[in-house]
Amino acid sequence: MVTYKFTEEIEANNAPMSSGLLAKLQKDILTGRFRPGEKLTEQALCKEYGVSRTPIREALRQLEENGLVENRLNRGAFVIGLTEQDYEDMFELRKAYEVQAVKWAIQRITDEEMEKLEETFEFMEFYTMRNDIDKMLVINAGFHQVIYEASHNRMLRKLLSSYQSFLKYKDAGSIYESNYLTTVLEEHRAIFKAFTDKDVQAGAEAMEIHIDRAKARRCGNPEGQQQEMRI
């Protein structure tokens, strides 16, 4: 039996201070609390997050490595954030890697991982039936994480987890069409069926369709779906 924690707060509380601080700073940048061009001073951040300078410095170093912050000589750290073009490009890159991940996962998945994927999909059905969008979003991310793990490729898993952490805040606090949950569930049903059928090509096609539609939901859709929708 797989037990899931459904809130970011629980995950943050269980994380080491450095990683928890990094996640908070990243979220505050990606949700616009810190705006592009804004200077981040160690003293202000220490007061804001209630930590010492050492974890702040490490978090800023990681954020610079991730491309969200720029350390300017003799001036300090400044927010870069992500542009709409960055998000567009990230979706395209994510699609290519997600398709490869699902191909490898269908070929390499263990019995234990398959059981975890099945249980995750059952949770998706359950929370769709309850129309619980917040829980569904968390389980949705978990479904993809199982696929990353089942690909048995460390670098691919790390890369896709990074993209997922960036993209989850795109249009945070958005609104949803009435059929949003059932639409997303059916997209994942097609992916899950490819695993049960051990059909690599069907899995690749289902994942490509899902990521294309997810991009349209977040970045604008020529078919007329609302922009303010998330994956």
CATH of domain 8-79: 1.10.10.10
CATH 1.20.120.530 in the chain is located at 84-219
Contact indicator for 114, 198 with CB cutoff of 8 Å? no
Question: What stretches of the chain show up as alpha helix (H) in DSSP?
Answer: 8-14, 17-30, 42-49, 53-65, 84-108, 111-129, 133-150, 154-167, 180-197, 200-219
pLDDT in tens, 167-197: 887 765 555 666 889 999 999 999 999 999 9
d(CA 103, CA 53): 44
pLDDT digits (tens, 9 = 90+) for 73-118: 889 999 998 888 888 898 899 999 999 999 999 999 999 999 999 9
Lookup: tokens for 187? 């997209």
- Cα–Cα distances (Å) from 78 to 20, 39, 95, 108, 230, in that order, read 20, 4, 30, 43, 28
Fold annotation for 84-219: Four Helix Bundle (Hemerythrin (Met), subunit A) (1.20.120)
On whether the pTM is more than 0.85, the answer is no
